[in-house]
Structure 1
Amino acid sequence: MNIYTSPEAARAVERSYRELLGLWPVPAEHVRVPTSQGETFAVVCGPEGAPPLLLLHGSGSNGAMWLGDVATWSRRFRVHAVDLIGEPGLSAPSRPPLEPDVYAGWLAEVVTGLGVGRAAVAGMSLGGWMALSYATRHPERVSALALMCPGGIGRQRSLPALAALPLLALGGERGRRRALRLILGPHTPSGDGAAFMELIQRSYHYRRDRLPLFSGEELGRLTMPVLMIAGDRDGMIDSGGTRRRLGRAVPAADVRVLPGTGHLLPPQTHEIMHFLEATHA
């Protein structure tokens, strides 16, 4: 499956991603796990024997999105930052249908291949949907669940993406940055992070399928501690609907909606660390 606009674009994204991996702030291993959906790449760091933490990034991204978090999280946890299949990382480009059973099965293979048993899972957006797929199918294997603007609970919005298309069509750095801000909200990256996002934006074919919503019965299977953080101005996911549905299905969940915040949250490193430490005391 060709997820890039050209072979040259694929090489440019991979080259830039490898450069960012060279900035990983703590010693790390690069691990490749064979699965039925193709090889899956993960960056592993933190003390051996520490409680495992699985990280699942958002759409159009890869493990580099955790560069600002892993130095803190890996002090206490054995971190496994997984590149999702079908995304612009170093995992297989395969894109099976967006069905929870399919991705829960793939993630179960990855976890087993990493030698991980019960683990905490943190996921952003698409990664949040995949984390929910896994946690609702294998709740006994998830010690805690941290979700950032997750898909699959509140309805998915498309108007911001449609409004951004003319800006993308105009081309140029200014147009692409305005498009990113429209889609992701005010907390868009700067510097190397912004340049890498813009490279992906012009080099990569984003998924177009809508994320299936989890039923109330499925969400009710989340028996582990749950933290959900969303932005009240999320243009991609209905954060109000997400808060209400998760609150009804999992009354014990810690549900937070940040004011003045879009789909891309400001850093939540310490908030998530406090949650994980409290659940692994």
Structure 2
Amino acid sequence: MTAIYRSDDARQAIEAGYRTLLDRWPVPSASATLPTRHGDTFVLVSGPDDAPPVVLLHGAGFNSAAWLADAALWARTHRLYAVDLLGEAGLSAPVRPPLGSGAYAEWLDDVLDGLGVERAAFVGTSLGGWLALDYTVRRPERVSRLVLLVPGGIGRQKYAAVLASVFLMSFGDRGRRASAGLMLGPRGSAEPGGPALGEQLLLIQRGFRYRRDPLPIFTDDQLRAIAAPVLVVAGAKDRMLDQRGTARRVRALVADATVTLVPDAGHVPERYSQPVHAFLTNGDPR
């Protein structure tokens, strides 16, 4: 397969920037690299040892630094396992099994088994949301609750912004910043997650090869079969995914679902940390 980085120097720069961000993790943490049948997987662990487990799955083209602003709150009540996705800009193996195959469910089986976790809540963003939902469909007995932030695989994908962003990327760092703004859409802050994450995103844009394969869409029957409580938070102005369609399908098909469609937000999830915490604690933040 094509290498996921444009050069070894690019890989080293992205990894160095990521490790710097992990040094800022807001609560005490430990890391582990777990062997799985689809490649070694980096996991950052925080929160009380005996607290209910939550698996965090970031989006495409990024890494677990995406959770920096959330970890302090969620780790008060839960054991957090922030997992770097395979084939993305983190510290896990640079492999990309076919989407829609059983490979990612096997991978998450191995991750949970390696962590000694039988059943967990899952929080996933974009591609991470697709992976969490795929796992829920394939392994319902291992998912206690499911949080989907701007998820893929429910509403249709959009391509106009993607094509325009590819053109902008050819104009150096200014074009890359414009490309990110176009793709991610409206948001309340100047940078997604603040300037430090914005600089990491720029490093990734310079040196990382994003995956291009479309996300398979879950069927009505697959969504109807979900028994776990589900929370969806999405942006009505998402330029990458039809989140209005996502909201309609989840409300119509998932029995125990709460859907929040943020009217002025794009593909950067916003104002979700407190509602997610309330959902994970079933309204009792202790």
Aligned partner of 1:184 in structure 2 is 184
* Partner Cα distance (2:125, 2:212) in 1: 17
Q: Does 1:4 align with 2:8?
A: no
* Partner Cα distance (1:200, 1:71) in 2: 25
SS in 2 for 1:112: helix
Alpha-carbon displacement from aligned partner over 1:155-208 (angstroms, at most 9, x marks no partner) = 111111111122211113x32211111000122423111111011011100000
* Partner Cα distance (1:87, 1:279) in 2: 33
State the 1:101 CA deviation. Answer: 2.0
* Partner Cα distance (2:283, 2:26) in 1: 25
Aligned residues: 280
* Partner Cα distance (2:184, 2:271) in 1: 14
Tell me, yes or no, if the aligned pair for 1:225 and 1:279 is still in contact at 8 Å: no
SS in 1 for 2:170: helix
- The structure 1 residue matched to 2:270, chosen from 254, 263, 266, is 266
Where in structure 2 are the equivalents of 1:128-143 lying within 5 Å?
128-143=129-144
* Partner Cα distance (2:255, 2:38) in 1: 35
Tell me, yes or no, if the aligned pair for 2:236 and 2:264 is still in contact at 8 Å: yes
Bigger mean CA deviation after superposition, 263-272 or 112-121:
263-272
Where in structure 2 are the equivalents of 1:1-281 lying within 5 Å?
1=1, 2-172=3-173, 174-187=174-187, 188-189=191-192, 190-278=194-282
State the 1:251 CA deviation. Answer: 3.4
Alpha-carbon displacement from aligned partner over 1:226-264 (angstroms, at most 9, x marks no partner) = 000110000111111111111121133101110111011
Tell me, yes or no, if the aligned pair for 2:227 and 2:256 is still in contact at 8 Å: no
* Partner Cα distance (1:100, 1:135) in 2: 14
* Partner Cα distance (1:73, 1:13) in 2: 26
State the 1:221 CA deviation. Answer: 2.1
* Partner Cα distance (1:84, 1:106) in 2: 10
State the 1:280 CA deviation. Answer: 7.5
Tell me, yes or no, if the aligned pair for 1:100 and 1:130 is still in contact at 8 Å: no
The TM-score, its normalising length taken from structure 1, stands at 0.97
SS in 2 for 1:178: helix
Alpha-carbon displacement from aligned partner over 1:61-87 (angstroms, at most 9, x marks no partner) = 111000000000000000000000000
State the 1:222 CA deviation. Answer: 1.3
Tell me, yes or no, if the aligned pair for 2:226 and 2:255 is still in contact at 8 Å: no
Partner amino acid for 2:115? L
Q: Extract unaligned runs of 5+ from structure 1.
A: none
Tell me, yes or no, if the aligned pair for 1:144 and 1:279 is still in contact at 8 Å: no
* Partner Cα distance (2:102, 2:223) in 1: 14
Alpha-carbon displacement from aligned partner over 1:209-236 (angstroms, at most 9, x marks no partner) = 0000011111122101100011000011
* Partner Cα distance (1:255, 1:103) in 2: 26
* Partner Cα distance (2:131, 2:203) in 1: 25
Partner amino acid for 2:257? A
* Partner Cα distance (2:164, 2:151) in 1: 22
State the 1:32 CA deviation. Answer: 1.1
State the 1:96 CA deviation. Answer: 0.9
Tell me, yes or no, if the aligned pair for 1:139 and 1:221 is still in contact at 8 Å: no
The TM-score, its normalising length taken from structure 2, stands at 0.95
State the 1:137 CA deviation. Answer: 0.9
* Partner Cα distance (1:253, 1:266) in 2: 19
